[in-house]
Every structure is written in structure tokens, then in C-alpha cells.
A and B are shown apart, each in its own frame.
Chain A
Amino acid sequence: MTSHSETPALSLRGVVKSFGALPVIQGLDLDVAKGHRHAVIGPNGAGKSTLFNLVSGMFPVTEGQILLNGAPITGLPPHRINRAGLSRSFQITNIFHRLSVFENIRMGVLARHGRRFDLFSAIARRRAINDETAQILDTVGLTRRGDHLAGDLTYSEQRALEIAMTLSTGADVILLDEPTAGMSREETAQAVELIRKVTEGKTLLMVEHDMSVVFQLCDQVSVLVYGDILATDTPEAISRNAEVQKAYLGEEAA
């Protein structure tokens, strides 16, 4: 485990986001240490998805700063943030429906290899890229489905593809937005194993509703309530925290 004096992989400083007069994120500070798996939990409407959209560059922040490995990424467009080493998945499956599963993943591998404007080579002959794609396909267990259209996959397969696409650009900081949402218990267990495997040696920030998933995977949890972090601690400490129980866990139980 990395020491706390090291530069955090991801750092948010006084981040504010307002939609019109409505503040959604209110001066949020958050550090995600390198190599950690960090979960963000919180009631619906707390601003978890907005937080992800700010970090990944989908929305501009109103105020504050976001640092990736110490370098500011505030206000950069999504593709620049991705190239800087941060990749995100989407809560609602966001894939290339009419391309093959293999091609879905290869898009990210191509980007990582800097082949963004390659008009002059045959893609079939790019051995390194195709091999790497096959390897990612194998990691997420979709090799058998490589030639199928992504739109034809089952829901849980599409969720696995979503994770594979997020990994494919080779980023060190991975943001997963509710990766197990809508999955059965069995599928969730598989997804947890998959996420554990693929985020080995990387930094993970995930939004998750399922507390058992958080307990199994994460070493840090932040509780987001009304656009601000209420507490950040280990999962065990968080589950014992009276304030958190009142604000979030208790509320759900009630």
C-alpha cells in the first residue's frame, strides 16, 4: 500500500458545480490515493454521477480544481483527460452497438497506441493492436463473443464489455459508475472478481450502491450527501460511523 505523503492519483480541491442557481456539488474535497480502490456511496441525488461527469470532463466545474497525478485536468475535454490517464465507464451501457465486441475494445487499444488518425494502414495487419485486444477480451471472458455485434450481447455481458472498453485505453485511474447495477447476485459476484482482477495495480474510484460489493472490493469509502463529502474512511469504520448511519444508511433502512 502506498504512503499518504505520495501525490494522490486523483485529487479534488473545493470543487463546486451548479446547474443554474442550483448547487449540486458544494465545495468538495477528495483525495484518492494511488493504488487504492475507493468507493463513493450516498443516497440518490447526492451528486455521485455529477461528480463522475466533472472528473471525466463531461461537464465543466463551476469552481475548484481537479488534479490527476498532481497535474491539473480542470476544464480539459474528455479526450484529453482520457489521454492523461483517466478512463471512465458509464452507468447506462454506452457501447458501439453495431460494431463487433472485438472492435468495441479495439477502439480503445488503437487510441492508446496513438493510432487516432491512421488512414494509411490495414487494421487487420496491426498485430500488436489485435493481440492486445484479444488479451483484454480474454481477461473479461468475452473471447467467445468477439465476433458478435455488441448490441446482441446479454445485459451482464454488455456490462463486462463496458469495463473492458474502460480498460482498453490503458488508463491508470479507472472510474466505474455502478458497475454491478441491475445484476443478479451471481453476476455481481463475477463482476466483483473481474473488477478486482482488472484493477490490480491501478487506482479505482467507483460509485456503488451495493454495500457488500464495497466491503469486498474497496479499501476506502467516501460518503456523499447533498453534494459534499460527509466522511471518508475504511468500509468498516464507515459502517460504524453514527453520522453516516443517520444521514445515509439509517435513512435507507427506515
Chain B
Amino acid sequence: MTSSKLIFCALALGVLTVLPPFLDAGWQNALNTLLIASLYALAFNLLAGQTGLLSFGHAAYFGVGSFAALHLMLATEDGLAFPTPLLPLAGALAGLLTGLVAGWFATMRSGVYFALVTLAIAELFHSFAPHLKELFGGESGISGMRMPWAGFTFGTTLEVYYLTLGWVLTCGALLWAYTRTPFGRLTLAIRDNEQRVRFMGYDAHVTKTVIFAVSAMVTGVAGALQAVSNETANYAVFGAHVSSQVVLFTYVGGATLFFGPVFGAVAFSLFAFLVSDLTRSWLFYQGLIFVLVMLYAPTGIGGAVTQWLRQPRQRSYAQLAGPAVLVALGGAGIACAVVFLTEAVSVLFGLDYANLKRGAETLPDFALMGLNWGPLSPLTWGLPLVLMVGGILALRRGVRRLTDAEPTFNSNAAKEGLTV
């Protein structure tokens, strides 16, 4: 590991450890969610990035981990002497066992068929869970309570946060260590050329089953951590969006890097926390970001940043500042236009506006971003149009000026400006 990476890790670790007590409960909760999402994405990427197996059904193992932890939690309420901080072990075990069985079947096939089998397995859980009252608590789910242990009450968000932090750091470190074991190298070899692995004496199917189970195990820990912090879960954790969310995290963050998925998990968790209160269209923006990243930075945020850092540059940062500002301005212009149009459409075709329209003879003005806009006024549609066109021009010019002197520079990093 290079020294700059070490410094970055130490900084991140310091912030995650020292900062939370000074934040309000909302932020502590958001950081907690962010940590769980990061671990979930790292576990998922063991399959997606390192083995080349794209699972569309990781919700199954996330959910199984959640419910296993809740059952153990209920048992501790009934007097079982089990230390509360170790509750996620139940998630690990449940994830591992479910992963072994599901993985055995799923890894019989690869590519699209593998993805479809994993999807089917998750849907199986999703459709059966509401009917299995004992296991998954029916439609309402299961709720438990964190029991005090060794002087800790686990009553505050902060205590839960540190519990999560401990588990995420431990599991993250273990996953990283995994890549340095003989089996971790075999995992990469399977991704590169499964056929050759077979002809070198390895049973590829059993190998893939074990990898799948390890990924499911850590996913189970993530699920358990969520259950421990929410103290409840229902069949919705098996839902397709829980499976697809982690795909988004991983590919936006960068599946080709070990820590790439963390970038995606952090970006989307923060985005959800900050934006979901402001607008109901936040899922649309999330999808838009995903599409833009896939189009212009297929290796994800992590991939683009790494590429940028590794790129030898002839020009100084001062010389790059001009074009960079141009790119940022262009990106901001486009973003503003897109946001304005999206929000205007959602207001104009919303229920509230329909009610307003009913009484009025002409189309009434609508309020957006603290101003009133006439739906038929040229200004309302001209302004975003100007912003959009100007933004695109500025962005293209800026990117060209950035790339001109750097023949091999990849414009992806610059276009990230669009998504911020």
C-alpha cells in the first residue's frame, strides 16, 4: 500500500471514529446506513468484481441475515445470555448456510443464467416470507430489542453506530485479507478463465460455491447490522430494490477496484439522506446518475479517480484550473436545467396542481425553488434551455481543453462533474 493510500485510510478512519459524537442523531443514523451499505457492496463485489458473477438476488442473503439476527435478539429478550455486540454472528451463519445451498445451484450456470437463478432465489424468499409467520413474522415482520450488555445499553444511536463501525471495519479488513490468500487469487483466476482453472486441478463449481457462500455470509452480517440498528425487519428486505441497490452501489463506485463499491455506497447513501427529503424525484436522479456513470465512466467513480491519480500530467494544477472550472460550471448548468425540468414536470402533472387548475380559467403559476413560474411563459422554459445548451457547450469545451494536451487523458473523470 502506498503512503498516500495509508494517509487516506487513516483520515477516513479518524473521521468515522471521532466525528459522530458531535453530530445529531439524524447524521449518526445516516453514517450508520452508509457503513452497512458499504459492507453490503464490498460483499457483493466479491462475486461481481472479483469472480465475475453478477448476482441480481443478494437481497436473499441480506434478508436472511436480518431475520437470523432478529430471532437471536428475541431469544436474548427471553433470557438467553448472548452478548448483544455479537448478534451479527447469527447473520453470518445464516448467510453462509443459505449461500452454500443457493450458491451450489446458482453457480452451475454463469452469465445471464446465473443472474436469473439468483434473481429467482431472491424472489422465492420475497414471495414466501409474508406467508411464513414463524420464520419471517408474516407481512408485519419481526421486531426485537437490543438487550443491554456489559454496561452498554445500546439504547442510543451513537452506541449502535460504533457497534456497526466495529463490524464493518473488521469484515472489510477480512475481505481485503481474503484477496491475499491462495483462495483469493483463485477467485481472480476463475474470473479470468474458468476453463483453465478446471484443467489445473481445481473443481470450479465447488470453488464458486465457496466464494458465493463467503459473499453471502458477509452480506448476512450487513443484513444483521441493519436489523440490529432498526430492531425490526419485514419481508420487504427480500425485495428487488434491495438487490438492485447493491448493483448500483458497486458499479457506480467501481467494480474493478476492491474499495470501489464503497465510493458508490457512500455517494448513494449520502444522496438519499440529503436529497430524499427535498424531492420525491430522488430515485429518478439516482437512476440518471447511474446511467451517466455507466455511459461516461464505465469503471465507476473509483475507477475514474484512480485513473486520474495515476495519469502522468505535463501541466501544473494551476494550468488545469481554468478548464476544470469550465467543466464544473458546465456540469452545474446542465444539472440545474435537468433538476428544474424534472421538478417542473412533477409539479405540473402532480395532484396539487390538478386541483389548482380545476378552479382557474387559465393555467395558474406554480412555485419552484422559491419563485413563481408561469407554465406558458417563455422564460420558464427558455431559462433551463439556455442553461442546458450553455452547460453542454462549456462542458465540451472544458473537456477538450483538458484532454488536448494530455493525449491519453480519459475524459471520464471530468464528466463526473455532471453527477455532483
Residues of A within 8 A of B (CB): 56, 58, 77-79, 82-83, 87-88, 90, 94-99, 103, 106-108, 110-112, 115-124, 126, 129, 165, 168-169
B-chain residues with CB within 8 Å of residue A121 when the two chains form the complex: 181-182
CB<8 Å pairs between A and B, sample of 12: A79-B200, A83-B201, A94-B196, A95-B193, A96-B188, A98-B188, A99-B185, A107-B185, A119-B181, A119-B210, A122-B177, A123-B185
Q: How far is the CA of A234 from the CA of B199 in the complex (A)?
A: 30
* B183: Cβ under 8 A from any A Cβ: yes
B-chain residues with CB within 8 Å of residue A99 when the two chains form the complex: 185, 188-189, 192
- Say whether, besides A118-B181, A121-B182, A122-B181, A168 and B210 are in contact (CB < 8 Å): no
- Quick one: which of B147-205 are within 8 Å of A by CB? 177-178, 180-186, 188-189, 191-193, 195-204
A-chain residues with CB within 8 Å of residue B201 when the two chains form the complex: 79, 82-83, 108, 111-112, 116, 169
B-chain residues with CB within 8 Å of residue A95 when the two chains form the complex: 193, 196
Assess whether A122 is in contact with B180, with CB atoms less than 8 Å apart: yes
B302 nearest CB across to chain A (Å): 17
Q: How far is the CA of A168 from the CA of B181 in the complex (A)?
A: 19
Assess whether B193 is in contact with A94, with CB atoms less than 8 Å apart: yes
Q: How far is the CA of A82 from the CA of B200 in the complex (A)?
A: 6
A-chain residues with CB within 8 Å of residue B210 when the two chains form the complex: 117, 119
Q: Apart from A103-B185, A111-B201, A118-B183, what are 14 other A-B pairs with CB-CB below 8 Å?
A: A58-B199, A77-B198, A78-B199, A82-B199, A82-B200, A94-B196, A94-B199, A97-B193, A107-B189, A107-B197, A115-B182, A116-B207, A123-B185, A169-B200
B-chain residues with CB within 8 Å of residue A79 when the two chains form the complex: 198-204
| A-B complex: 7 closest residue pairs judged by Cβ atoms | A111-B201, A82-B201, A96-B192, A118-B182, A78-B198, A119-B183, A115-B182
B-chain residues with CB within 8 Å of residue A96 when the two chains form the complex: 188-189, 192-193, 196
B-chain residues with CB within 8 Å of residue A120 when the two chains form the complex: 181
Q: How far is the CA of A56 from the CA of B195 in the complex (A)?
A: 12
A-chain residues with CB within 8 Å of residue B203 when the two chains form the complex: 77, 79, 116
B-chain residues with CB within 8 Å of residue A83 when the two chains form the complex: 201
Q: How far is the CA of A82 from the CA of B196 in the complex (A)?
A: 11
A-chain residues with CB within 8 Å of residue B188 when the two chains form the complex: 96, 98-99, 103
B-chain residues with CB within 8 Å of residue A126 when the two chains form the complex: 182
Against A, the Cβ 8 Å flags (1 = close, 0 = not) of B201-234 are 1111001001000100000000000000000000
A-chain residues with CB within 8 Å of residue B184 when the two chains form the complex: 119, 123
Q: How far is the CA of A97 from the CA of B178 in the complex (A)?
A: 21
A-chain residues with CB within 8 Å of residue B197 when the two chains form the complex: 107
B-chain residues with CB within 8 Å of residue A118 when the two chains form the complex: 181-183
Assess whether A97 is in contact with B192, with CB atoms less than 8 Å apart: yes
Q: How far is the CA of A115 from the CA of B186 in the complex (A)?
A: 10
Which single residue of chain A is at the shortest CB-CB distance from B214? A119
Q: How far is the CA of A165 from the CA of B201 in the complex (A)?
A: 11
Q: How far is the CA of A126 from the CA of B182 in the complex (A)?
A: 9
A-chain residues with CB within 8 Å of residue B196 when the two chains form the complex: 90, 94-96, 165
Which single residue of chain B is at the shortest CB-CB distance from A117? B183
Our pick among B177, B178, B186, B195 for the contact of A110 (Cβ within 8 Å) is B186
Which single residue of chain A is at the shortest CB-CB distance from B199? A78
B-chain residues with CB within 8 Å of residue A129 when the two chains form the complex: 182
Assess whether A116 is in contact with B185, with CB atoms less than 8 Å apart: no
Assess whether B180 is in contact with A88, with CB atoms less than 8 Å apart: no
- Say whether, besides A94-B195, A98-B188, A99-B189, A111 and B200 are in contact (CB < 8 Å): yes
Q: How far is the CA of A56 from the CA of B198 in the complex (A)?
A: 10
Most chain-B CB neighbours within 10 Å: which of A56, A96, A107, A165?
A: A107
Assess whether B199 is in contact with A116, with CB atoms less than 8 Å apart: no
Q: How far is the CA of A109 from the CA of B371 in the complex (A)?
A: 70
Which single residue of chain A is at the shortest CB-CB distance from B198? A78
A-chain residues with CB within 8 Å of residue B183 when the two chains form the complex: 117-119
- Say whether, besides A107-B185, A118-B183, A98 and B195 are in contact (CB < 8 Å): no
Q: How far is the CA of A115 from the CA of B189 in the complex (A)?
A: 14
Q: How far is the CA of A160 from the CA of B384 in the complex (A)?
A: 61
Q: How far is the CA of A169 from the CA of B180 in the complex (A)?
A: 21
B45 nearest CB across to chain A (Å): 16
Assess whether B202 is in contact with A87, with CB atoms less than 8 Å apart: no
A-chain residues with CB within 8 Å of residue B202 when the two chains form the complex: 79, 107, 111, 116
A134 nearest CB across to chain B (Å): 16
Which single residue of chain B is at the shortest CB-CB distance from A171? B201
- Say whether, besides A103-B185, A119-B178, A123-B182, A108 and B200 are in contact (CB < 8 Å): yes
A-chain residues with CB within 8 Å of residue B180 when the two chains form the complex: 122-124
Q: How far is the CA of A27 from the CA of B200 in the complex (A)?
A: 28
B157 nearest CB across to chain A (Å): 35
- Quick one: which of B56-85 are within 8 Å of A by CB? none
B392 nearest CB across to chain A (Å): 36
Q: How far is the CA of A132 from the CA of B198 in the complex (A)?
A: 21
- Say whether, besides A117-B183, A122-B180, A165 and B200 are in contact (CB < 8 Å): yes
Q: How far is the CA of A123 from the CA of B202 in the complex (A)?
A: 17
Assess whether A87 is in contact with B199, with CB atoms less than 8 Å apart: yes
Which single residue of chain B is at the shortest CB-CB distance from A162? B196
Q: How far is the CA of A105 from the CA of B196 in the complex (A)?
A: 12
B-chain residues with CB within 8 Å of residue A165 when the two chains form the complex: 196, 200
A-chain residues with CB within 8 Å of residue B207 when the two chains form the complex: 116-117
A-chain residues with CB within 8 Å of residue B214 when the two chains form the complex: 119
A157 nearest CB across to chain B (Å): 17
Assess whether A116 is in contact with B186, with CB atoms less than 8 Å apart: yes
B-chain residues with CB within 8 Å of residue A123 when the two chains form the complex: 180-182, 184-185
A119 nearest CB across to chain B (Å): 5
Which single residue of chain A is at the shortest CB-CB distance from B188? A99
Q: How far is the CA of A161 from the CA of B189 in the complex (A)?
A: 15
Assess whether B185 is in contact with A88, with CB atoms less than 8 Å apart: no
